[in-house]
A and B are shown apart, each in its own frame.
Chain A
Amino acid sequence: MHHSIEIERLSFSYPDGHPALKDVSLAIQPCEKVALVGPNGAGKSTLILHLNGILVGQGGVQVCGLRAEKENLGRLRAMVGLVFQSPDDQLFSPTVYDDVAFGPLYQGLPVGEVRSRVEEALHAVHMGDYARRVSHHLSTGEKKRIAIATVLSMKPEVLVLDEPTAGLDPRSRRSLINLLRELPLTMLVSTHDMLMVRELFPRMVIMDEGRIVADGPTQQLMDDASLLEAHGLEKP
């Protein structure tokens, strides 16, 4: 049995020379739900973009037993469902249906299967009636759910979300948290929402200045007030 996500001594610098990740190692078991927290600019989003090979740094990244290398990119992108922070970036097709169908259609699946996958994915995020809607007119909370559906339709093994609750009203946030709890997938979620972290994620990883500075049980790390304060976080 391989780890779902295995990162070994990963370092990455942006083309302008600014180092974004320094010697990051992280292993996540199948079906584990892990929160990734840390201040803005800590390297959370950069780390996430390595998981399906959009960025490639020095060091080892393995997802579901596949190395993040050029010849594996296709499979990798189907297995890692990456939901970007802004649903407006994620939803680039005219209708909800087109967007959810993008992944399966790109993979060349037969029409019947595409249809059933879209239905399943929309059903999973409780948005079954929205297939014909125009993404442009949806509310932020609805867009977030559709964005998750667009990756669920690829049947990924790992779900990676970048700040899923940012900008949501309390009700949309609550229903998103319930949705994340229901989904039986390996999850790595970058967030500033410490209340959600405590509620949903048994394990928490703290990043700051491109390094992982703490990795352990959420309850234990949350009790360490000086650790949280040192990295610009607050106990909920």
Chain B
Amino acid sequence: MHIHFLDPYRERSSPIHALDPRVKLVLTLAFILTAALTPVGAWPLFILLFAIILSVEIISELGVLYVLKRAALALPFVLAALPAIFTIPGDTLFSLPVGPWVLRASIPGLERFASIALKSWVSVQAGILLAASTPFPDLLLAMRALRIPRLLVTIFGLMWRYLFVLVDEALRLMRARAARSGLADQPGLKPGGSLVWRARVAGGMAGSLFLRAFERSDRIYMAMLARGYDGEVRSMPLPALRPWHALALVIVLSVLLLLLVMGFLFW
């Protein structure tokens, strides 16, 4: 029994998949930064940003629906921006009486909320595209190339490697519990035990999972030491960027910069 569904990478043969992971990582970060810096209420820019991400989704052959479905996972976080509707002063749109208070929704507040929601929505899609079109090891190489601290990159890598082991272990524990969750042959007994008891069992399972993860990390570290690990992570040098990848990088970066300049000039 192994877990594969956690891995967001989807194998396709699209130009997006073929693009150098370093370029993809930089462009994704730049795109998210652009979306974040775009002024509130710059609707044409939001439409352009959405058009960019939509066309990448189509080129990537992942399916627009696939990306949108995954992006829905980020919706609950948009709720955090909900108070903006009521806290920004401006023309009142409608009032909501809540007990002794009255909540006044303002038009600028609504604009702020809609902008934040749109920004986070396109940003999440960019992240999903990156993860779905780049194998995780390539992403780690890209982070290394961007001079993200090596220790941090190593931690990401180890986490990725052992997350699956840990999930497998948790599933095996739960399977062992299911195998012993039976019914007595005497009628009239209520199976399942009390809520407190079940919580205690689950707590014990979580505890033993933690202990084992802890012990495993010790063993992994010893195995690393045994092969000469001295705290410094070394890696193969990365190949130079191919010309058309570099070109794509420059073009998309310029477009994003242009969008930002337009945003600050006109809104």
Contacts and interface: CB of A to CB of B under 8 A. Distances in A.
Given A74-B191, A77-B178, A107 B183 contact: yes
A136 B208 contact: yes
Interface of B: 4, 169, 172-173, 175-186, 189-193, 197, 201, 204-205, 207-208, 211-212
A84 B182 contact: no
B24 to A, nearest CB: 28
Given A78-B185, A92-B208, A93-B204, A106 B180 contact: yes
A196 interface: no
B208 to A, nearest CB: 6
A92 B185 contact: no
Given A74-B183, A92-B201, 19 more contacts: A54-B178, A75-B182, A77-B178, A77-B180, A78-B183, A78-B184, A78-B185, A89-B173, A90-B176, A92-B204, A94-B207, A94-B208, A102-B180, A107-B182, A108-B184, A108-B190, A108-B191, A136-B208, A136-B211
A77 to B, nearest CB: 4
A98 B193 CA distance: 13
Contact of A106 (B169, B191, B211): B191
State the main secondary structure of chain A at its contact with B. Answer: helix
B177 A92 contact: yes
A102 B182 CA distance: 10
Contact of B182 (A16, A49, A76, A136): A76
B191 A16 contact: no
Interface of A: 16, 49, 52, 54, 74-80, 82, 84, 86, 88-94, 98, 102-109, 136, 150-151, 154
State the main secondary structure of chain B at its contact with A. Answer: helix
Given A77-B181, A108-B184, A84 B190 contact: no
Nearest to B177: A92
B185 A75 contact: yes
A84 to B, nearest CB: 6
B204 A109 contact: no
